[in-house]
Amino acid sequence: PAWHGLRLIEGGNQLQHFKLIHLVFTDDKGENLKGLHATLEFACWSDVAVCTLHYESMTEHDMMNRHSEIRIGMDFISGASDTCELKSNSPQLMKIRYPKTKSRVLIKPVDQGMGFEDVQPNRGSLVYSRGSLPADEPQSVSFLMIPEEPESKGALEKVLSGRDVEVGLEVIGTEVSDIRISSRFDPSLWAHRITIEGPNDPWENEAYQIVTANRAEEAVDTHLLVERIAGRNQGFASITGTSAYLASSGTGEPNGTPIQISKNWHDSTDWVHAVTRLHVPPGIVRDTSLHFVFAQWEGIPAVSHAQLCLIAYLVNQQWDQVALGSFGENITYDPNFCLGRSFIDDIRPMLVTSMNPASKRWGWTVNVGGCDFLVTETKKEGAAEANSKQRNLPQSSRTHYRRIGPVLSEVEYRSDYLDGKIHQAAT
């Protein structure tokens, strides 16, 4: 069933990005702290997870005096030393050690004024102290969670070094015009975030030169999120059919670097996010290009398979969408049954004229129905015949995006049913 306290923004092989909204805080007496609006944001990569608390006063006056504190606590209530142990020799770093695997998770505050207090073997508190909270100034604080395996060293340094490089984009060719490009490092994503804003033509693919600057003597790995929009509060012409790939600047051939596509057309501003990791050599380098593919690839309709964000729609969980061309969705996948209907919710005819009399050629077509890969039911004891069966929903659903376009779409969906008694896989 849908839970409206969760907002899934991005999901895929590269980045899991979501928010928990409507958080409730209490004061030192345990009473609900009224007038404080807060959201907890998570950006999870394979090498680091970022947790950011966004908060602001919703009152007409300042909240909290200079002695007030906002506390983020991590509790391990089992107390079993063979499960995990917490240790901190510095207020700016805490280590969670797992004796069985000898692996560790490093907790590192990003913002000044945050530090660890009262760290014990089974409990630690990350404390941020601040003065009054003005009613018109939203605030945020972040910390990093970095896994470190026994055989690896320097995981913290590697993650922090990704912030120190510079990443930019330059337009390739003359097909793309009236484009504005801005770049910044976003600590809440722990990624270089580049926004490309300007008009979009579904029949014209786009190419951008990636320019990196690394002043260190060694290569650095960093995260990159490229946001493509037409403009604020505007639609994006190719939103239903967009894929992307990275290529060698010298040959133009795809270099095989995995890339993730997430998008949303339900909110006020349509956006497409291309997410990947870059290996950045020392110096200024221009050896990789980013390509967006829309309606066609080498003269034929291009395929795209991407995660579709549902914020501003009915629910906020995983939803995948497939299209041939950029003329409307053709198949949608609902792996977690967040709408409670079926695994595939939409199948729409492709490359045909819509039944809408005002539609142009190859418009958005009607839904002719969904389907399931597997249906299991459990008989309810004592129920009337008409209501004697209850459908079993999938558990522990996993999605593996192997190919997302523009030539092939190959995505594997796996689920468990009945507490692992039945396993289902579909590609």
Q: Is residue 61 part of a domain?
A: yes
Shared domain for 156 and 183, answered yes or no, is no
Q: Please give the C-alpha separations between residue 264 and each of 115, 139, 235, 307, 326, in angstroms, as whole numbers.
A: 37, 26, 10, 9, 14
pLDDT value of position 1? 45
How far apart, in whole angstroms, are the C-alpha atoms of residue 260 and residue 193?
A: 14
pLDDT value of position 351? 84
Shared domain for 124 and 15, answered yes or no, is yes
pLDDT value of position 384? 66
Shared domain for 155 and 33, answered yes or no, is yes
pLDDT value of position 67? 46
The answer on pLDDT for 132 being more than 80 is: no
Q: Which of 300, 328, 361 is the last residue of a domain?
A: 300
Q: Is residue 305 part of a domain?
A: no
Q: Is residue 154 part of a domain?
A: yes
Shared domain for 150 and 171, answered yes or no, is no
pLDDT value of position 383? 64
Q: Is residue 372 part of a domain?
A: yes
Shared domain for 268 and 366, answered yes or no, is no
Residues in contact with 298: Cβ distance below 8 Å, sequence separation at least 6, in sequence order? none
Shared domain for 154 and 10, answered yes or no, is yes
Q: In what order do the strands lie in the sheet with 260-264?
A: 180-186, 191-197, 220-229, 271-280, 260-264, 303-308, 320-324, 331-333, 344-347
Q: Is residue 307 part of a domain?
A: no
Q: Which of 120, 143, 160 is the last residue of a domain?
A: 160
Torsion of CA 269, 274, 278, 283, to 10 degrees: -50
pLDDT value of position 29? 80
pLDDT value of position 356? 75
Shared domain for 277 and 248, answered yes or no, is yes
Over residues 184-209, the pLDDT tens digits come to 999 999 999 999 999 999 999 999 99
Q: Give the mean model confidence (pLDDT) for residues 103-109.
A: 89
Over residues 41-76, the pLDDT tens digits come to 999 999 999 999 998 877 665 565 544 556 655 555
Shared domain for 193 and 336, answered yes or no, is no
User: Higher-confidence residue: 109 or 66?
Assistant: 109
pLDDT value of position 74? 58
Counted domains in the chain: 3
Shared domain for 224 and 287, answered yes or no, is yes
Q: Which of 160, 195, 226 is the last residue of a domain?
A: 160
Shared domain for 74 and 143, answered yes or no, is yes
3-state class of 56 per DSSP? strand
Closest by CA position to 186, among listed 7, 56, 12, 41: 41
The answer on pLDDT for 369 being more than 90 is: no
pLDDT value of position 82? 62
∠ CA 82-146-80, nearest 5°, is 15
Q: Give the mean model confidence (pLDDT) for residues 91-103.
A: 84
323 and 365 in contact (C-beta within 8 Å)? Answer: no
- Residue 357: pLDDT band with limits 50, 70, 90: confident
- Among the listed ranges 106-110, 153-157, 245-249, 379-383, which one has the minimum average pLDDT value? 379-383
289 and 172 in contact (C-beta within 8 Å)? Answer: yes
Residue type, 109: P
- Scored b (16 or more CB within 10 A) or e, 156-183 reads bebbbbbeebebbbebbeeebeeeeeee
- CATH number (domain holding residue 286): 2.60.40
Q: Is residue 306 part of a domain?
A: no
Q: Looking at mean pLDDT, say which of 152-156, 217-221, 352-356 comes out highest.
A: 217-221
How far apart, in whole angstroms, are the C-alpha atoms of residue 12 and residue 56?
A: 30
Full-prediction pTM beyond 0.85?
A: yes
Q: Give the mean model confidence (pLDDT) for residues 129-144.
A: 78
How far apart, in whole angstroms, are the C-alpha atoms of residue 124 and residue 32?
A: 23
Shared domain for 278 and 344, answered yes or no, is no
pLDDT value of position 60? 62
The answer on pLDDT for 391 being more than 50 is: yes
Q: Is residue 310 part of a domain?
A: no
End-to-end CA distance of the chain: 24
User: Higher-confidence residue: 120 or 175?
Assistant: 120
pLDDT value of position 223? 98
- Among the listed ranges 129-133, 233-237, 253-257, 295-299, which one has the minimum average pLDDT value? 129-133
Compute the mean pLDDT over every residue in the chain, rounded to the nearest whole number.
87
Our measurement of the distance from residue 303's CA atom to the centroid of its chain's CA atoms, rounded to an integer in Å, reads 22
Domain of 218, in residue numbers: 166-300
Q: Is residue 375 part of a domain?
A: yes
Q: Give the mean model confidence (pLDDT) for residues 325-336.
A: 93
318 and 399 in contact (C-beta within 8 Å)? Answer: yes
Shared domain for 25 and 152, answered yes or no, is yes
The answer on pLDDT for 13 being more than 70 is: yes
